[in-house]
Chains A and B, each alone.
Chain A
Amino acid sequence: MSDEEDDIILSELDDDELVEQMFDDLYDGMKDEIVEGVNILLERGWQPYDILTKALVGGMTVVGNDFRDGILFVPEVLLAANAMKGGMGILKPLLAETGAPTIGKMVIGTVKGDIHDIGKNLVAMMMEGAGFEVIDLGINNPVENYIDKAAAEKADIIGMSALLTTTMPYMKVVIDTMKEQGIRDDYVVLVGGAPLNEEFGKAIGADAYCRDAAVAVETAKSLMARRHNQAGMA
């Protein structure tokens, strides 16, 4: 904690300072301040999409990096995600109105037989924090849930989570079914959960194993960028 308790008035900061202050406020999980910051930027004529990507996603990237590096832990990340949600509450309807591009859409759920959801919820929150649209299927999902929902929502990413060593093999069932239906390559498939590892992710044919929520976000971003590039070349 800093001793210099300078009183900062958000509306007196210039744009760059304000965005930097919002990074800090997100980091500290200060929801009211984030809402205030978003409103000030809107008043100053910022596009909702720019506020999302430059201020909020930018700030959550810092949070994600420090989470990945073991500097922040789940309680701080939950607070940050909660503050982010405050800002998104204002931006979401505006983004829809302006038809702004989405960063990507993810369908996520815990696999059949498994009822654990803390890790999956954390990934969903961090993905939302990074600007992705997330459809949460909840726990205990059979293969149809993933495939049907992904198709209905035109999702880009399917995310599967498992906490049990006995349920993680089900991820392969989902991927194999996708292959049979010839839709495997329509989606990026990310897997995660405490007992998994990279070797397992490769063995079952996922695009990537994500060690934690921060890695999930990073991986999703880079794989989405790669997809966009490929689509551009095609």
Chain B
Amino acid sequence: MSDALSELLATRDWLLADGATGTNLFNMGLSSGDAPEFWNVDHPDRIRALYKGAVDAGSDIFLTNSFGGNASRLKLHDAAHRAHELSRISAELGRDVADASGRKVVVAGSVGPTGEIMGAVGTLSHESAVEMFEETAQGLKDGGADVLWVETISAPEEFRAAAEAFANVGMPWCGTMSFDTAGRTMMGVTSQDFVGLVDELPNPPLAFGANCGVGASDLMRTVLGFTATGTERPVIAKGNAGIPRYEDGHIHYNGTPELMAQYACLARDAGAKIIGGCCGTMPEHLSAMRAALETQPREPRPTLEQVAEVLGGFSSDNDGTGDMSDAPKRERRGRRRS
């Protein structure tokens, strides 16, 4: 229990995580298609500015610029061999910013998906995935990250591989999946499935939850699904600032700081303990979220109707949980042994 995140979790009612990495970096001039992780070396000042933006807006936790810092993603930029280096430096820069903040701020080493498909018809084996995650994790550890933080995962196999890698490097960790397909992950995992998956791990995370996905309302439905199971493990909510809209050749997220402030309080009231944003969430959103969490009194657990009323409707009628967990199954003919 000596890590920085466990200490904060033990003493605080809620923690504010950070917002977008990509959206912020694109605003600083990153070209689409370039690997953001290169900036850890090429533009460390901008990465410090990214981190500082979140810290100054009141984040207690921020994620490092290492989302694509695994061999599989970096390979696409001919930089597979730089996974450890780029991850380590992302954490070193984070350490500097956190230590200079004058308060306890957690540096969470971001670990993103490999982008490969695992499982029966996949191309990536469990062993290779563990090896890749371990390389990134070791870099983040060497750079001084307080915890590891795997995010935007859709496949249970990949989540387990990351957990195993984190055990191998001996670091506390958090993990979030992305529920973007009819309330489930792309691979069909429901919020309830994920609670079961997390509980069965030999080295369970300090906290688990959802990030990215569709909009803030869908993410809230997922959070309500987690907490409905009665799980005691801290829940993370990191939703997008609304939904991207195309206007005059540019992309805007339609979530205003006011909306994200309401989302933050709803997430807290739904039982989430670590609350932040994802794509489109800028420092001004984080400031509004922090102010709301500090000033708005806790309300009863919101219903789905209340969530929809405040944040907008859901992308699908149901999310495969509750009454729908034994929903439509196809009539089977007689089976056959081969």
Contacts and interface: CB of A to CB of B under 8 A. Distances in A.
B333 A5 contact: no
A110 B249 CA distance: 19
B31 interface: yes
B251 A166 contact: yes
**Category for how many chain A residues contact B:** 35 or more
Interface stretch (A38-46, A113-121, A144-152): A113-121
A8 B249 contact: no
Interface of A is mostly: loop
Nearest to B327: A71
Given A73-B181, A166-B32, A200-B246, A2 B120 contact: no
B11 interface: no
Contact of A2 (B32, B73, B251, B332): B332
Given A78-B117, A167-B33, A200-B246, A6 B334 contact: yes
Interface stretch (B49-57, B59-67, B164-172, B182-190): B182-190
Contact of A70 (B26, B316, B333, B337): B316
Interface of B is mostly: loop
Contacts of A212: 181
B328 interface: yes
Given A66-B330, A113-B33, A194 B180 contact: yes
A81 B155 CA distance: 18
A164 interface: yes
Contact of A71 (B73, B243, B330): B330
Contacts of B122: 78
Given A73-B187, A165-B244, A78 B121 contact: yes
Interface string A59-85: 000100010011111111011011000
Contact of A166 (B26, B115, B332): B26
A133 interface: no
B336 A6 contact: yes
9 interchain residue pairs of minimum CB distance: A73-B188, A113-B33, A6-B334, A166-B32, A70-B182, A113-B32, A165-B251, A8-B336, A200-B246
